[in-house]
Chains A and B, each alone.
Chain A
Amino acid sequence: MNTNNNITQELLETVERYYNHTMTADERIMFEKKLQQDDEFKTLVEDIKSLILGIETQTLKEKLDAFHNDMPIQLHAEKASSKARFFNIRKIAAAVVILIAISCFWWINGSSNDRLYNKFFSPDPGLPTTMSRSDNFEFFDAMVNYKKGDYKLAITKWGKLQEKEPDNDTINYFLGVANLADNNTNEAISFLQKTALRPESVFHNDAEYYLGLAHLKNNNRQEAIKFLKLSNTETSKKLLEKLD
């Protein structure tokens, strides 16, 4: 901008007319002629044009922020939530990766006893429950809970029956398996032992097998092998092979 020359009011208004296209044809021709001939004049005119453009642009810029903030919220929210969802997916992905890494680490470093236990343990499928059975309602009612995986409820219900019949091999056996499934290893061992001590029981072999597993879970290999040897099932033999 030219410091030496001041803009007169007359010049300002002339440029305004030029800028707004409100000059007469004659005035325009004269004006444009002067622009071509007089460089100093041209600079002054350019300065005024810049000032007006600056005012307009700054005003528009300030308005744009208002337009932006005034945008329909739906648009904003939609965008925001999609972005948020994107971030959530990334977070979940990161969490999954970390979990996999941790479980791999745990798997590699975890004891072989745990690994074998997890590989071999599956709860006894239980006894068939039919609607017509009414002779031992409470027992089979608990069996339904057990089969659904609600071990805690099954343990409570069978526990009450066990108090009445402490030596019932069936109840003790299932209490043992349910406790093992529910990760109460020591309770499981005490119930299973009662059935395991009765060779005539139909559950004897299975009781020995689950006892072996319970001891394996407790990291007690010697005891596990002892009980697994007493069991005569195919799975016990397979597990013994792995332990030897």
Chain B
Amino acid sequence: MQKAELNLTSTAYNSQLIEGLKCNDEQSLQSLYQSNYAKVEALILKNNGTRDHAKDIYQEAFIVVWKNVKDKKFIPQNETALHGYLYTISKNKWMDYLRSKHYKKTVVTSKLNHFELSDVDHEKKDDDIIKENRLEGIMAAFKTMGSPCKELLTTFYFEKKSLRDIADELQIEENTARNKKYRCMEKLRELVLASKS
């Protein structure tokens, strides 16, 4: 009886972290980030990496985990599975880095196993690279955006606040907020297109 209750509690807690991750809850994101970094840093430091490497690789992996959980490409059964997934992605990313041309160029005596990508992998990779480049372009454009637009888009799309709440905070009409958001999106799109040409 007691055991069942305990399980129920832990499941509720687990799903809280996972649900929090899906809706970009700041506390959930922070907790997930901070509870797994040390392990990944230790792994990378032990394997020819620096702390800067560790930070970069971990943050890339964290974004992948966040995206895959959101897109339901990965459905964690519990908190442990989520932590394990973050660690595995970090580890794989570090392995990829060690195998990469950049690293091999700098480490001539590397004894890492050489491996060839199959054609299937190449095709898949090309498509991924195009998508990734497009996303990076948008991210870079958004980064340079003026703060009124940046704040509005962040609160709406990342924090997922309702237009009514945003309008209340800015002391404007809800419809004005809606128009502002649309114009900011147009502006962001223009910035992305301008940077491409």
Q: Which residues of A contact B (CB under 8 A)?
A: 1, 3, 6-7, 9, 12, 20, 47-48, 50-61, 63-65, 67-68, 70-72, 75, 79, 83
User: Are A1 and B196 in contact, CB atoms less than 8 angstroms apart?
Assistant: yes
Whole-angstrom distance from the CB of B78 to the nearest CB of chain A? 22
Whole-angstrom distance from the CB of A196 to the nearest CB of chain B? 64
Q: Which of B41, B51, B63, B196 contacts A57 (CB 8 A)?
A: B63
Whole-angstrom distance from the CB of A92 to the nearest CB of chain B? 19
Q: Which residues of B contact A (CB under 8 A)?
A: 24, 26, 29-30, 33-34, 37-38, 41-42, 45, 51, 55, 59, 62-63, 66-67, 134-135, 137-139, 141-143, 153-154, 157-158, 160, 178-179, 182, 185-186, 188-189, 192-193, 196
Given known contacts A12-B185, A75-B38, is B29 in contact with A67 (CB within 8 Å)? yes
Whole-angstrom distance from the CB of A36 to the nearest CB of chain B? 19
Residues of A within 8 A of B143 (CB): 58
User: Are A68 and B33 in contact, CB atoms less than 8 angstroms apart?
Assistant: yes
Cα distance A61–B24 in the bound complex, in angstroms: 12
Cα distance A7–B158 in the bound complex, in angstroms: 21
Cα distance A77–B59 in the bound complex, in angstroms: 20
Known: A1-B192, A60-B63, A70-B34. 8 other contacts (CB 8 A): A9-B182, A52-B157, A56-B158, A59-B158, A60-B24, A60-B29, A61-B59, A70-B30
User: Are A83 and B134 in contact, CB atoms less than 8 angstroms apart?
Assistant: no
User: Are B186 and A7 in contact, CB atoms less than 8 angstroms apart?
Assistant: yes
Cα distance A3–B121 in the bound complex, in angstroms: 31
Q: Which of A12, A54, A71, A79 contacts B135 (CB 8 A)?
A: A54
Which DSSP category, helix, strand, loop or mixed, fits chain A's interface? helix
User: Are A7 and B142 in contact, CB atoms less than 8 angstroms apart?
Assistant: no
When C-beta atoms are compared, the residue in chain A nearest to B135 turns out to be: A54
Question: Can you list 28 A-B contacts with CB-CB less than 8 angstroms, sorted by A residue number?
Answer: A1-B134, A1-B189, A9-B178, A12-B182, A20-B160, A51-B138, A51-B185, A51-B188, A53-B67, A55-B138, A56-B157, A57-B67, A57-B135, A57-B139, A59-B24, A60-B24, A60-B66, A61-B63, A61-B139, A63-B30, A67-B33, A68-B33, A71-B37, A72-B34, A79-B38, A79-B45, A79-B51, A83-B45
User: Are A50 and B41 in contact, CB atoms less than 8 angstroms apart?
Assistant: no
Whole-angstrom distance from the CB of A33 to the nearest CB of chain B? 22
Residues of A within 8 A of B34 (CB): 67, 70-72
When C-beta atoms are compared, the residue in chain B nearest to A2 turns out to be: B193
Q: Which of A6, A9, A20, A64 contacts B33 (CB 8 A)?
A: A64
Residues of B within 8 A of A3 (CB): 193
When C-beta atoms are compared, the residue in chain B nearest to A67 turns out to be: B33
When C-beta atoms are compared, the residue in chain A nearest to B157 turns out to be: A55
